[in-house]
Structure 1
Amino acid sequence: MKYSYIARQPILDSDRKTFGYELLFRDGPKNTFPEIDPDKATSRLLSDHFLSTHYQTLGNHVGFVNFPYQSLVNLVPTLFPSDSLVVEVLEDCEPTSELLDAIKKMATQGYRIALDDFVPSKEWQPFLPYVSFIKFDIRIVPIAKAGIFISKLRGSKIKFLAEKVETYDEFEQAKKAGFDYFQGYFFSKPEIIQRKALQPTFLTIVQLCKEIAKEEIDYKELESLIARDLSLSYKLLTFVNASAIVSSKIQSFKQALVYLGEQRLRQFISLVAIASTDSSKPNYLYGLSIQRARFCQLAWCKSGQRSDADLAFLTGMFSLLDCLLDQPLESIVELIPIDEAVKLALTKGEGALGKILSLSKAYEHADWEQVSELGISLELSDEVLSQCYDEALQWSADLLQVDI
């Protein structure tokens, strides 16, 4: 038995800070969590994927995991630590007495239960005392209708989560309706897309991006750019000194250049520059930038295209600049004299770099059909893609050394 894909999607609180992740498993064509005997599940599932990689990248956050009916009644979730797991009851589960007994047992053992894609009905009423989360798919149950149900349970311990929140307006409406948590890609879309005057800090960031996009880095120019912005200089030195690869304190930017080397420097500057754009943005967005950049770089190399790996990294990194700067991506890339292939990948999704970027986005959204199609066209196997994603998650967590 093998698990081809595991992806994670962030769950944010009302302040847009990361509360947890939904971990999405694919096991064969049905894309479901495997219905397997607990004894057989233990060695493979826990050691190979769930504990070895994804619990590390969860950090202090919880993991929401879908379990089908048979896995629930077999108490498969009890194989996992209760403190970092939320057990999601799939929407197609029948509310039988057998299931209720299983939910009671798990709740008594300290497991938090979530009802996924919930549609209110009297059959689920007996389950509510044992439930910690109710998830509403706002495409199925409109926000206003969900709000009525939420108001009826206002005094309970249940927290409510809105799924498929795709716009900032929907996020605001869901907050007003009483939702506590939010899942969807509203956080990675610009709240306002408009042409506005470029601020000095933004211009410095653009120049930095221009320099690190060059085949050969001009260290003197980089030092000059950093020196112009006290805040950026401070953030860079603080970040470098906090990294695991620094054994003695770095006190000047020149030292950082020498110590880190070209490849690491390129990646560190990418992260620090992007993280300096807007402190009001969700922290997860910065982590996603780095994760996507690394995934693109790894997948690019694994597809046999060893050259231009830095371009793949920058394609992933720059793909979220519009969200971080609230500027149209087309306008941003015009200001940065980067390779034409990167521009076409970012603005039109064209070329090999465009395919790699689309593959990264599909994986993030757990669009497994798209992942398979792109993987085949790029000659990347399921195992290689899974490895690239796992490595990108771990690499970004290590690099950031903060909760993302």
Structure 2
Amino acid sequence: MSKLASTLQGEEQLSVLMARQPIFSKSQDVVAFELLFRGEEGSDLRAIKDDVATFDVVMNTYANIVADKGSKRLPCYLKITDTVLLGDSLPELPPTLFSLEILGRSDITPVFIAKVKEFSHKGYRIVLADYDPEDSRYDPLLNVIHVLKLDIQRLGLSNLPKIIHKLKPYQLDLLADKVETKDEFRQCLEMGFSLYQGYFLSRPIAVKGKKIGTSKVLLLQLLGELQRDSATGASLEGIAINDPALTYKILKVVNSAAFHVPREINSLSHAITLLGMEQIRRWILLFLTTSEDGKPNELTRSMLIRGRMCELLAELMGRESSMNYFIVGLLSQLDAMFDIEMKDLLQEVPLSHELKNALLHYSGPMGETLQDVENYERGQFDQLHGQIDRPLYEVAYRHSLKWSEQVMNALQS
């Protein structure tokens, strides 16, 4: 067993599986997270009630993000059932950091509405999901809640203007939910939504004939050189010398807390001597996946989390070449970063057929691990292949969140 796998297995394991999904502003900045979780009793808050370790993880890892001005803590949306809301089993949570999301399938009685008002008066922002504009049961809640989720796939984009007009007197923050494409995001933006949730960042806007920008060509040249058995520190530096600023940035990240190097590294050849070619490849890939102009930081963050979690799961499963798992996870959203279809993009990226098939078809052990990580990110915990103990998935995800923030901090400094 590798040292990294031993460290992960020795980490404190929680009684719940957790993931987070970002909630975006109009400018595609992350302003909150939806917290997805599941314990032995299901997905209600009993899974984390009175669990100090779990609460600490939520506060210190899941709610944290590195932004342009440093690290900050964002509020989390928590879905709560009628049982939790009415049964006084909700843990004491700071209202500034937790918003309560009530479900449209709730039994909306006068007692239920009174309880929602009570939590609102305590300072909690109340979010309503699963809203049906044709159902008058929801009308009394519209004067109590703060954020209203509209499922744009279920309601239909063409029907939204009429619904939004009806809701205007309530002065709610409208959240466009299940936004799957950038075109849907644009249409919702024009309609006046203030918040957005969905996987639209992971979808490319395919532009026929588009090529990788010149700023990334040098990185591809370096990556291609790393594929050669004859590659040396000198041959890599011979390519990197064409962009001294890039070399400086790479060394800045290498010397950051994310890599735990034993002493300061001042050149690529020095880095290779200390840590080897595989780590150099990691850094080249990191810069290949940093945000293009106009791309939000959250896309880079998501790529980092996915790459690191694929690598950690490979370590925990005892797989060889865990770096290849990292590459597959990291590059799995490169099409969205460059707005080039994956099959076209992979013709320009020097990777083995095994890695390309994992990216295109989820084939082989690497493709299966990538699918596991994507299912975990979506909170689809029942679809995990289960090749390791279930609590270790959360440990790997938690470590990936922390590692991604360290890298983001280094990239932005």
TM-score bucket of the superposed structures, by smaller chain:
0.7 to 0.9
- Once the two structures are overlaid, the 10-residue window that deviates more, 241-250 or 143-152, is 241-250
Partner of 1:27: 39
Answer yes or no: is 1:342 the counterpart of 2:355.
yes
Q: Deviations over 1:179-199 (max 9, x none)?
A: 111111111110124222444
Partner of 2:235: 221
Partner of 2:284: 269
Match of 2:391 among 383, 388, 394: 383
1:250/1:110 Cα in 2 relative to 1: closer, same or farther (>3 Å)?
farther
Higher relative contact order (CA 8 A, sep 6+): 2
Answer yes or no: is 1:319 the counterpart of 2:327.
no
- Once the two structures are overlaid, the 10-residue window that deviates more, 94-103 or 245-254, is 245-254
TM-score when scaled to structure 1?
A: 0.86
Partner of 1:130: 144
Q: Is the 8 A contact 1:193 1:326 kept in 2?
A: yes
Shift of 1:370: 2.2
Shift of 1:200: 2.8
Letter in 1 for 2:95: S
Looking at structure 1, the residues matched to 16 and 238 of structure 2 have their Cα atoms a distance apart, in angstroms, of 47
Q: Deviations over 1:167-190 (max 9, x none)?
A: 111111111222111111111110
**Where in structure 2 are the equivalents of 1:146-161 lying within 5 Å?**
146-154=160-168, 156-161=170-175
Answer yes or no: is 1:400 the counterpart of 2:411.
no
Looking at structure 2, the residues matched to 60 and 47 of structure 1 have their Cα atoms a distance apart, in angstroms, of 14
Letter in 2 for 1:33: D
| Identity in percent | 27
Q: Is the 8 A contact 1:60 1:403 kept in 2?
A: no
Partner of 1:232: 246
Looking at structure 2, the residues matched to 366 and 51 of structure 1 have their Cα atoms a distance apart, in angstroms, of 19
1:45/1:80 Cα in 2 relative to 1: closer, same or farther (>3 Å)?
farther
Where 1:94 maps in the other structure, the secondary structure is coil
Match of 2:120 among 107, 132, 150: 107
Looking at structure 2, the residues matched to 291 and 135 of structure 1 have their Cα atoms a distance apart, in angstroms, of 26
Match of 1:91 among 104, 108, 122: 104
Match of 1:332 among 345, 359, 369: 345
Q: Is the 8 A contact 1:342 1:353 kept in 2?
A: yes
Where 2:153 maps in the other structure, the secondary structure is coil
1:19/1:261 Cα in 2 relative to 1: closer, same or farther (>3 Å)?
farther
Shift of 1:48: 6.5
Partner of 2:206: 192
Letter in 2 for 1:19: V
Partner of 2:383: 370
- Once the two structures are overlaid, the 10-residue window that deviates more, 83-92 or 265-274, is 265-274
Letter in 2 for 1:388: A
Answer yes or no: is 1:173 the counterpart of 2:187.
yes
Structure with the largest fraction of helix: 1
Shift of 1:54: 2.1
Q: Deviations over 1:279-312 (max 9, x none)?
A: 211211101111111111111121121x211111
TM-score when scaled to structure 2?
A: 0.84
Answer yes or no: is 1:9 the counterpart of 2:17.
no
Letter in 1 for 2:118: K
Q: Which runs of 5+ in 2 are unaligned?
A: 1-12, 67-71
Shift of 1:226: 2.6
CA RMSD of aligned residues (A): 3.1
Shift of 1:22: 1.0
Shift of 1:243: 4.7
Q: Deviations over 1:188-215 (max 9, x none)?
A: 1101242224443232122233345668
Shift of 1:392: 1.4
Partner of 1:74: 87
Looking at structure 2, the residues matched to 359 and 19 of structure 1 have their Cα atoms a distance apart, in angstroms, of 27
Looking at structure 1, the residues matched to 125 and 143 of structure 2 have their Cα atoms a distance apart, in angstroms, of 11
Q: Which runs of 5+ in 1 are unaligned?
A: none
Looking at structure 1, the residues matched to 231 and 119 of structure 2 have their Cα atoms a distance apart, in angstroms, of 56
Answer yes or no: is 1:139 the counterpart of 2:147.
no
Letter in 1 for 2:407: L
- Once the two structures are overlaid, the 10-residue window that deviates more, 362-371 or 87-96, is 362-371
1:154/1:332 Cα in 2 relative to 1: closer, same or farther (>3 Å)?
same
**Where in structure 2 are the equivalents of 1:353-368 lying within 5 Å?**
353-368=366-381
1:155/1:287 Cα in 2 relative to 1: closer, same or farther (>3 Å)?
same
Looking at structure 2, the residues matched to 77 and 403 of structure 1 have their Cα atoms a distance apart, in angstroms, of 39
Partner of 2:51: 43
- Once the two structures are overlaid, the 10-residue window that deviates more, 195-204 or 255-264, is 255-264
Q: Deviations over 1:109-132 (max 9, x none)?
A: 211110012113433233223311
**Where in structure 2 are the equivalents of 1:191-210 lying within 5 Å?**
191-210=205-224
- Once the two structures are overlaid, the 10-residue window that deviates more, 113-122 or 236-245, is 236-245
